[in-house]
Homo-oligomer: A and B are copies of this chain.
Amino acid sequence: MPKISDERRAARRQQILDAAWVCFQSRGLHATTMDDIIRASGLSAGAVYSYFRSKDELILAAVTTSLSGLRDLVEPLFTANPPPPPRELLQQIAGAIADFTARDGYDLKRIALLGWSEAQHNPALHEPMRDFYLAFRTRLADAARRWSRTRPGMDPEAMAKVLLSLLLGYVVQSAILGDVAAADLAVGLGGLAPPHDR
- How close is A64's CB to chain B, nearest CB, in angstroms? 14
Whether B113 pairs with A117 at a CB distance below 8 angstroms is yes
Q: Does A196 contact B (CB under 8 A)?
A: yes
Whether A176 pairs with B87 at a CB distance below 8 angstroms is no
Q: Report chain B residues within 8 Å CB of A4.
A: none
Whether B191 pairs with A119 at a CB distance below 8 angstroms is no
Q: Interface readout for A167-198 with B: 1 if CB under 8 Å, 0 if not?
A: 11111110111001000110111111110111
Using CB atoms, name the residue of chain B closest to A162: B188
Q: Report chain B residues within 8 Å CB of A165.
A: 165-170, 172-173, 180, 185
**A interface residues, tally (CB under 8 Å):** 68
Q: Interface readout for A114-127 with B: 1 if CB under 8 Å, 0 if not?
A: 10111111000010
Whether A161 pairs with B184 at a CB distance below 8 angstroms is yes
Where chain A touches its partner, the secondary structure class is helix
Whether B191 pairs with A192 at a CB distance below 8 angstroms is no
Whether A180 pairs with B193 at a CB distance below 8 angstroms is no
Q: Report chain B residues within 8 Å CB of A196.
A: 85-86, 147, 150-151
Whether A197 pairs with B88 at a CB distance below 8 angstroms is yes
- The stretch among A13-21, A22-30, A97-105 that forms the contact with chain B is A22-30
Q: Report chain B residues within 8 Å CB of A31.
A: 30, 121
28 contacts between A and B (CB under 8 A): A26-B121, A28-B117, A28-B118, A28-B120, A28-B121, A29-B30, A30-B31, A87-B198, A113-B113, A116-B176, A119-B176, A133-B173, A147-B191, A150-B196, A157-B188, A158-B191, A164-B173, A165-B165, A165-B166, A165-B173, A166-B166, A167-B169, A168-B169, A169-B169, A189-B193, A190-B194, A192-B193, A193-B194
